[in-house]
Structure 1
Amino acid sequence: MRMCNRPDCGRGEIDQQGFCEVCDRERLPQDRATAPVRVPEPVRGTGGGVAQVRPDPWYGLGLVDSDQGPDAPEEPPRSAEPIAEEHRFCPNPDCELPVGRGRDGEPGRTRGYCPECGTGFDFTQPDGRTVAGRYDLERVLGAGAFGAAYLAHDRNLAAHVVLKALHRSVAETALHERDVLVGLRHDSIVRILGYEHEGPHLVLEYVPGVALSARDGDRLETLLAHGIRILQALDYLHARGLLHCDVKPLNIMRFRELSPAGALDQVRLIDFGAVRRQRDEGPVVAYTPAYAPPESDPEHRHPTPGFDLYSLGMTLRSVCRAWTDRSAPGVDSLHLLLERATDTERPPRRFVSARQFAEQLSGVVRQVVAAAPTHRQVARPSALFGSMPHSLHGGLGAARPLAHWVEARPCEDAALSMRPPFSSPEPGDIATALPTPLSDPDAPDMAGSTRRALGESRHALSRRDPELAERALAAAGLDDWHWLHAWYCGLIALARADIRSATTAFTTVRRAVPGELIPQLALGLCAELRGDLDAAGSHYGAVFDTTPALGAAGFGLARVHLLGGDRTKAVGTAVRLAQEFRYERQARVAAVRLSVMVLDGPAQPAPTRDDLERATAGLAGLDMDRAARAGLRAEIQYAHFLHHRDRAQLSDAVRELGRHAPTEREYVALVDLANRLRPPLRWRWAARRARTGHSRFGGTPTTLSS
């Protein structure tokens, strides 16, 4: 028994194909097995990406609770169709002439006698035949492209098996299928148990289940998890240079498997009659047209793993066809994913590997399970985008700037005319805050000149030079349909404040990688800049509900809720965001401000008594410097004033701001504002007290009388 000799594994058994059963990689040559492992250092500086990263693309399976699979029927289902005429031969092994064939447009007989030897035949039932003195045929399960499948009882194993009968005219195909299956050992691939020359027949395990389909009560994530399992099987096949070429619902068995953890809902890929090696020449011969690329597609002339990935995309499209409400969590992303997987107009846009497909499918599962009833939120690194620490809170996460109070002008009723309490992030700030794409793990052969050009484009954007960034992007030589090209086009458009073009570019990115959250966040920011609050709320909500760790989505959602007149939802969003350690302080400040913030417009409700109490309690629990605390207290007192018209407390709060003014001009302006806000004085001695006051900056203070 040979074991894996890779230093970072060293524990898996090597299979007949030379691959490790644990790490799924080839055994190293002896001269490299003892070489020290070198961990690549990340690219630093202004590069267009970092070291290639391929996190676990199957992580979506861990987000789905395994439901119980379909119960195995007491008796396996009987095929409703007789054996196809091309597979009808005399059951007499000494004869085996074609029988039951149609003539002159009339179908052949399914029951009768061989005209040569007189042996009876019945192609609707096996009629108790025994193969190789061991396998008692019980019923017909179906007939595929290369032969009929029977349910048989194995006398030696005392168990049901599947006997796949292939006539001698396709014996070479039978041998090829046998040789392929013998070397495959994967939980999601049917297992071969033997081969009988009589017939010949393949002996396969019997999977007591049903063809993959959506059952009543199935959750979407359950079906998508089955898609990930089949992608694991295809990745296993493709790594061994094999193509299945006939992936479809009928060739994916869904069954119930008992385990120590209980009954599990599992799937297994079956029927390898059309399997071929990737190095084989010539077009694909056996396939199901409804699930295969069109005949004009390049995959037919030079088949690659993309042939199987297209077929799986069509399979998922069929299985998930009941989910049509694209406003439901994750459903729009699923539709975009399947559109890319089955794109016939631009074949290069389709997925090139099972892992690339699974990465995006896992991302869709992540969006689906974040909603009810699961409410499972997962923070994890992206395979395509770097981290995004910038919150882009637009002013929500900090006290009002002192300049707002300095410039404030009181009206006759003492209400203040001030700048807006917050704003949407500036387009240029968004362009520099959105993360740098990582090197595409599915395009490891990207030229060094392309990487350098992308790095130069990003560096130009950081210096707010969109013209230079555009020239560098042109030098990268990326195809227009590539998501990397579209991403940089979006950033350049933002740097120019061209929101419409940025939206178009980021939409292209989202359509290419619908399992990623960063493109949706970018679209939310663009929608907010356009004033489309509904679209912004939809994008922000999808991202924030999936993972609050992207704080920019939480702050954006809070802004949208408040602008839409829903203070309660705005505050609730900030409170949820405060549970994220990175944004705790900013989010708690935002919760205080959102509770008492006053906006112009008839649709903006004034803060309630409960809002004021919540803000006061929130301020008491904040650990912050005196200047920021004074700013929040002034904002709370202004909301109190609008309720109770207590000008004295508001005046005191504004006067307290003056203690933190950086210049005498600002100090004088704040004290002057405080004096104007005070109620009219009715006692003569008050004027005398005002004249004896002292200024922190020296000189004569302004009068306290209004």
Structure 2
Amino acid sequence: MRGRGGAGTCPRPGCGGDVEDDGFCEVCGLEAPPVVTPPPGPVPTGSVPTGACPGPDDGPDTGPGTARWSGGASGPSGGRSWRSSTRSPSRGRLGAGLVEVPPVPYRDPTTAVLTDPEVPEAKRFCSACGTPVGRGRDGRPGRVEGFCAHCGHHYSFTPKLAPGEVLHDQYEVLGCLAHGGLGWVYLAADHAVSDRWVVLKGLLDSGDADAMAAAMAERRFLAEVEHPTIVKIHNFVRHADRVSGELVDYIVMEYVGGTSVKDMINNRRAAGAGTEALPVAQAIAYALEVLPALGYLHGLGLLYCDFKPDNVIQTEEQLKLIDLGAVRRADDRHSPIYGTIGYQAPEIGSVGPSVASDLYTVGRALAVTSFAFDFRGAFTESLPTPAQQPLLRRHDSFHRFLLRATHRDPEQRFASAEEMAEQLTGVLREVLAEQDGVPRPGLSLQFTPERRAFGVEGPVVARAAASGLPVPQVDTSDEAAGFLATAASGDPGQLVTSLRAAPVRTVEVRLQVVRALLEADRVDEAVAELDGLVAAAALDPHDPCGPAEDDWRPGWYRGVAALLRRRPAEARAAFGRVRDVLPGEAAPKLAVAVAAELAGDADAARAGYEVVWRTGRAHVSAAFGLARVLLAGGDRDGAVRVLHSVPETSSHHVAAQVAAVRAQAGGERLSDVLAAGTRLSGLELDVARRVGLTAELLRAALALVSGASPPDGGPAPAARLLGCEPTPTGLRLGLERCYRQLARLADTPEERIALVDRANAVRPRTLF
């Protein structure tokens, strides 16, 4: 069926669909390319676009001004209509569905051409030895071409292409957009494909063998790359230099009109105090968008090597990873390695690049975009402490994430871009929940849900916590995963026997043996099994019966064993190490909080419970734990608020409401007890429980009003507590009724007699 057809017919070959009023074709779903007025006369120039094209070094340098194309029939194309590059009609994935990232307007490429395309003297260095070259003296400007005084290597910083020059009978150059360490970048019109805008990238110094090799390597790798978050490569062409006649290779890639992340930070600093960075949630959203692209490259056996804010551009609601000039094969041990100080991993010089070093650069870039610090000086290979940086003090999980991502030991970093993104998503949920108090729950891929709530009826018990905490998920890639899925047994002892008779003995089977032993209260055997696991891994890292070096699960079970042994400090240390490895997971934080509470560290327990409950509502034990800690610290109102936040959908909602009633009734004001009575009257409870709670509230009120005239914070004359007047006589009469009703519900004669005696004792004295 045809659409409304408000904007004519789709111009794309073979389509013929109607373009809707919103500018998108109802058949192919693509946006019709808008027509731009052709450029007049000589090619106008302007400032470098903020992130308009791939620049491998510090990004584009700004020129003295900007200019837009104006009307006119003449121009490099001889009066042809000029079209902007096609942009995706789909909404970007920025923010991972959790945070709104401000869109960046698409930058018109015709305003992006440099007025004076030359390399600033401060950025002129010999490509062979790194010595400054081309510098001015005695008021005279430096040479843009010449020979290095230190090593004699020839240098040239002049553009190789001029406006109006045509490459491959197809690409008409409009001018320079930017320059970087590996080459000039030009804007051109592709006359063979609807005059779309494209970017040409050549060499800065075609006489440099390493630079030439890097360019050829880029050409080879880019032919394999096809990812929505990576700049698209259209073609590779060779063109003779107009002066020397030397053949130079150029890469033809899509024009990305937007703003680089580095320029976003610079703009914020220019408008503020000079120390601003991006909001942490926005910075995390950018990293989450880039990580799948790096994971895609890693899947192809490629390493990016030079990730930094300069190489990420946002246009509208999409992000693009640009400049693949430093990309290399993972097994390449001969090509020159390109990187940037402050981002490059410390082991690059000794062992070379790897997946771990790529992920290191993401961690460093995330830190640089989140807060200002001397990342190329005092903190070149380290991070500020929470005491030095308030953001890290505010977001502990974010700090732990950065510490693991930028660990000096590559083996201690995240193992893959997927794992890194998974944990960073959990950190983002925590950050957002802390900022606005709105929970951001998420499903864990590492842990089961909480097995049973603990600490609901009173103080937390170590054994109950050990049996209620989530447990690590079974690795579905393990050879014995199918067997383990069918080996469940209600009796832990029988399960141990079944697991030890498994047809294959893998690390997953042995971990499940440990879990079953712990549940059977055979703690010493479980610890011995864990020791055997670690010993097997130490003797043979490739032993399938031993855990990998970065496997955190043995440490988790050591923490559970320590809880069962009533060693909370030892448990806290073990769970803390798991939290460092999995900073985005709730389970380790809950476990640390439990251990801290048992160890008497109320502040640490409160912090752990609070972040778990604030981020999601799945671990209801965190709510009761937080309420206990707050109540013990004298924050009765805070404890009541937490208990009230347990959702009605939770099976522990009523228990939380009852706990809130008791917490509120324990206050020093009669108004608190009256408020607790109002809440109790709205609960649906069985008769015995309701009468018992009523008696508790009446006893608390009687203790407050006895001997006080008037009662402290006393109610208005008309106020009543569960149908009783809040006076000594009224409360005693109510208590008498409660005790007699409980006596009728008693299970034994002895209990019945005791309750009748209490009723008689509390009854107000009369003359008759």
Provide TM-score, normalisation by structure 1: 0.72
2:617 — aligned with what? 548
SS at match of 1:648: helix
- C-alpha distance in 1 between matches for 2:221 and 2:558: 46
Shift of 1:531: 2.8
Question: Superposition pairs for residues 377-526 of structure 1, below 5 Å?
Answer: 377-395=439-457, 422-423=458-459, 425-440=460-475, 448-477=505-534, 478=547, 482-526=551-595
1:369 — aligned with what? 432
Structure 1 unmatched runs, 5+? 1-57, 89-99, 115-119, 258-263, 396-421, 599-604, 684-706
Q: Is the 8 A contact 1:79 1:140 kept in 2?
A: no
1:18 — aligned with what? none
Shift of 1:66: 2.8
Letter of the 1:256 partner, please give it: T
Letter of the 1:615 partner, please give it: A
Task: From 565, 573, 576, give the equivalent of 2:634.
Answer: 565
Shift of 1:389: 4.0
1:271 — aligned with what? 323
Q: Is the 8 A contact 2:429 2:441 kept in 1?
A: no
Q: Is the 8 A contact 1:360 1:513 kept in 2?
A: yes
- C-alpha distance in 2 between matches for 1:85 and 1:342: 29
Shift of 1:127: 5.7
1:208 — aligned with what? 257
- 1:282–1:453: structure 2 CA closer, same or farther, 3 Å change rule? farther
- 1:670–1:327: structure 2 CA closer, same or farther, 3 Å change rule? farther
- 1:498–1:174: structure 2 CA closer, same or farther, 3 Å change rule? same
Task: From 311, 332, 343, give the equivalent of 2:361.
Answer: 311
Task: From 326, 331, 335, give the equivalent of 2:399.
Answer: 335
1:93 — aligned with what? none
Q: Deviations over 1:334-392 (max 9, x none)?
A: 11111101111x3212111111000000001111111334x442333211110104222
2:689 — aligned with what? 628
Q: Percent identity?
A: 32
Shift of 1:572: 1.5
- 1:552–1:665: structure 2 CA closer, same or farther, 3 Å change rule? same
1:652 — aligned with what? 737
- 1:201–1:86: structure 2 CA closer, same or farther, 3 Å change rule? farther
- 1:342–1:561: structure 2 CA closer, same or farther, 3 Å change rule? same
Q: Does 1:639 align with 2:700?
A: yes
- C-alpha distance in 2 between matches for 1:342 and 1:315: 10
Q: Is the 8 A contact 2:371 2:391 kept in 1?
A: no
Letter of the 2:221 partner, please give it: V
Shift of 1:480: 7.5
Q: Is the 8 A contact 1:487 1:509 kept in 2?
A: yes
1:539 — aligned with what? 608
Q: Deviations over 1:265-302 (max 9, x none)?
A: x32111111212234345862233432222368751xx
Shift of 1:138: 1.8
Task: From 672, 676, 680, give the equivalent of 1:619.
Answer: 680
Shift of 1:557: 1.4
Task: From 281, 286, 289, give the equivalent of 1:221.
Answer: 281
- 1:657–1:299: structure 2 CA closer, same or farther, 3 Å change rule? farther
Q: Deviations over 1:199-255 (max 9, x none)?
A: 1111222223333246448432111011011101111112222211111222222x2
SS at match of 2:201: strand
- C-alpha distance in 2 between matches for 1:519 and 1:535: 13
- C-alpha distance in 1 between matches for 2:598 and 2:397: 23
Letter of the 2:747 partner, please give it: P
- 1:523–1:122: structure 2 CA closer, same or farther, 3 Å change rule? closer
- 1:283–1:123: structure 2 CA closer, same or farther, 3 Å change rule? closer
Q: Does 1:325 align with 2:390?
A: yes
Letter of the 1:184 partner, please give it: V
Q: Deviations over 1:135-187 (max 9, x none)?
A: 3252351222x333334455665454322113374555434322332332222
1:164 — aligned with what? 201
Q: Deviations over 1:687-706 (max 9, x none)?
A: xxxxxxxxxxxxxxxxxxxx
1:245 — aligned with what? 305
Question: Superposition pairs for residues 38-49 of structure 1, below 5 Å?
Answer: none
Q: Deviations over 1:624-648 (max 9, x none)?
A: 2222122211112112212334333
- C-alpha distance in 2 between matches for 1:388 and 1:454: 19
Letter of the 1:634 partner, please give it: A
SS at match of 2:97: helix
Q: Deviations over 1:412-466 (max 9, x none)?
A: xxxxxxxxxx32x111111111111113579889994322221122112212232
- 1:240–1:467: structure 2 CA closer, same or farther, 3 Å change rule? same
- C-alpha distance in 1 between matches for 2:101 and 2:567: 46
- C-alpha distance in 1 between matches for 2:104 and 2:615: 27
1:595 — aligned with what? 664
Q: Is the 8 A contact 2:280 2:370 kept in 1?
A: yes
- 1:450–1:427: structure 2 CA closer, same or farther, 3 Å change rule? same
1:678 — aligned with what? 763
SS at match of 1:577: coil
Higher RCO (C-alpha under 8 Å, 6+ residues apart): 1
Shift of 1:122: 6.8
SS at match of 1:549: coil
Structure 2 unmatched runs, 5+? 1-92, 148-154, 240-247, 269-276, 373-385, 482-503, 535-546, 707-727
- C-alpha distance in 2 between matches for 1:467 and 1:382: 30
Q: Deviations over 1:577-621 (max 9, x none)?
A: 13343322222222222221x3xxxxxx42432x33333333233
Q: Is the 8 A contact 2:231 2:321 kept in 1?
A: yes
Alignment RMSD (CA, Å): 3.5
Letter of the 1:294 partner, please give it: P
- 1:149–1:654: structure 2 CA closer, same or farther, 3 Å change rule? same
Q: Is the 8 A contact 2:94 2:319 kept in 1?
A: no
Q: Deviations over 1:464-510 (max 9, x none)?
A: 23212211211223467642122111111111111111111111111
- 1:326–1:66: structure 2 CA closer, same or farther, 3 Å change rule? closer
